[in-house]
């Protein structure tokens, strides 16, 4: 059985999909529905819906407060990959790389198989070098993988 955070995330993703990329919810109502504290909802919003994954979360506290989750639309696949490549020329953390990989997968730029391969390639255990060199190596690997994807996208046109 999935843990509570996974259940809340799945519920919110389904709502976002149903309402075409934007949903507004009451934090307290959602907490009551899942029988949890509002802080659990905050945790899910912060960890599962960050900007790196393509979301903007707006929040209004108080009695009439709400949380609005907006799914950012991606540019064309090619343009998105170019932007990512230009941003990641140097070091990159595993967390940052995995967030970008997840977003590419979620937007169907890469397949599930490519997602798993990329996540494996940027994993600190696989790289096996101490910081700060590990983040530089990861950055170069990540950029190289993105350049191959971009090249393949260009060839398909």
Kindly report whether the global pTM for this prediction surpasses the value 0.75.
no
pLDDT at position 56 is: 77
If one counts every other C-beta atom within 10 angstroms of the C-beta of residue 150, the result is 17
- Residues in contact with 96: Cβ distance below 8 Å, sequence separation at least 6, in sequence order: 52, 88
Residues 115 and 59 in one domain: no
The closest alpha carbon to 21, from 60, 69, 74, belongs to 69
pLDDT digits (tens, 9 = 90+) for 28-45: 889 999 999 888 988 998
The mean pLDDT values, 10 residues at a time, for the chain of 157 residues are 85 90 88 90 87 76 74 67 70 84 82 93 90 88 86 70
Indicate which CATH number applies to the domain containing 81.
Answer: 1.10.1200.150
Residues 13 and 43 in one domain: yes
Structurally, the chain folds into a number of domains equal to: 2
Residues 82 and 141 in one domain: yes
Residues 35 and 18 in one domain: yes
| DSSP tag of 151 | H
Output phi, psi for 55, to 5 deg.
-125, 150
DSSP string of 88-123? Answer: -SS---HHHHHHHHHHHHHTTSS-HHHHHHHHHHT-
Residues 30 and 96 in one domain: no
Indicate which CATH number applies to the domain containing 15.
Answer: 3.30.56.130
- Domain final residue, candidates 44, 71, 98: 71
Residues 53 and 84 in one domain: no
| DSSP tag of 54 | T
Residues 38 and 102 in one domain: no
Residues 102 and 150 in one domain: yes
Residues 129 and 101 in one domain: yes
- Domain final residue, candidates 71, 92, 126: 71
Rg of the chain, C-alpha, whole Å: 18
- Domain final residue, candidates 26, 53, 71: 71
b/e map of 70-80 (b: 16 or more CB within 10 Å)? bbeebeebeeb
Q: Which domain holds residue 41?
A: 4-71
Residues 13 and 58 in one domain: yes
């Amino acid at each position: 059985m999935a843990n509570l955070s996974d259940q809340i995330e799945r519920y919110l993703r389904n709502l976002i999909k149903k309402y075409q990329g934007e949903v507004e919810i009451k934090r307290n109502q959602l907490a009551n529905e899942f029988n949890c504290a509002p802080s659990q909802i905050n945790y899910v919003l912060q960890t599962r819906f960050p900007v790196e994954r393509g979301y903007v979360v707006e929040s209004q506290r108080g009695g009439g407060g709400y949380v609005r989750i907006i799914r950012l639309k991606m540019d064309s696949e090619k343009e998105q990959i170019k932007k990512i490549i230009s941003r990641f020329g140097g070091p990159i953390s595993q967390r940052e790389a995995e967030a970008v990989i997840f977003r590419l997968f979620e937007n169907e730029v890469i397949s599930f198989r490519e997602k798993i391969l990329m996540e494996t390639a940027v994993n600190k255990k696989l790289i096996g070098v101490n910081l700060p060199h590990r983040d530089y190596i990861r950055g170069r690997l990540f950029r190289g993988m993105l350049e191959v994807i971009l090249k393949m996208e260009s060839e398909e046109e």
